[in-house]
């Protein structure tokens, strides 16, 4: 199982790769059978192909910034983000909390993002 320090390093790298739109770099952090639920309650993406398709669509439009501590408990973590969404000429912001679960090799097995479109706003 990854240590708390290793989990925090993975999250920081994930955020850097999200901001760079580095899909291959993002995918390197995910297990083959990983799931992504973003937002929670939305469509569940299962497996590398589905997860890659999700990030290929989402990452180019997003810039994310860590807004607080990465809280680690066992093989899971939660952390707050500010997301900047750019679509065409429109820029919007929203707050999210991401929750990751990891396998023994430090790969993400589950990513869940808690946010709501009702909280979308025009300024940070």
Residues involved in catalysis:
14, 38
- The Cα–Cα gap between 118 and 56 comes to 24
Q: What share of the chain is helix, strand, coil (3-state, %, to 5)?
A: 30, 40, 25
- The Cα–Cα gap between 26 and 110 comes to 13
- The Cα–Cα gap between 43 and 3 comes to 30
DSSP element (H, E) containing 55 = helix 48-58
């Amino acid at each position: 199982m990854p240590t708390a320090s290793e989990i925090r390093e993975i999250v920081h790298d994930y955020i850097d790769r999200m901001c760079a739109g580095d899909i291959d770099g993002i995918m390197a952090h995910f297990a083959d059978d990983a799931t992504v639920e973003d937002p929670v309650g939305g469509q569940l993406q299962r497996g590398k192909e589905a997860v890659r398709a999700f990030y290929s669509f989402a990452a180019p439009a997003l810039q994310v910034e860590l807004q607080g501590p990465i809280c680690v408990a066992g093989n899971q973590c939660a952390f707050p983000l500010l997301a900047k969404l750019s679509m065409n000429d429109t820029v919007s912001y929203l707050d999210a909390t991401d929750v990751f679960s990891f396998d023994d090799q430090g790969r993400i097995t589950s990513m869940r993002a808690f946010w709501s479109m009702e909280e979308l706003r025009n300024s940070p």
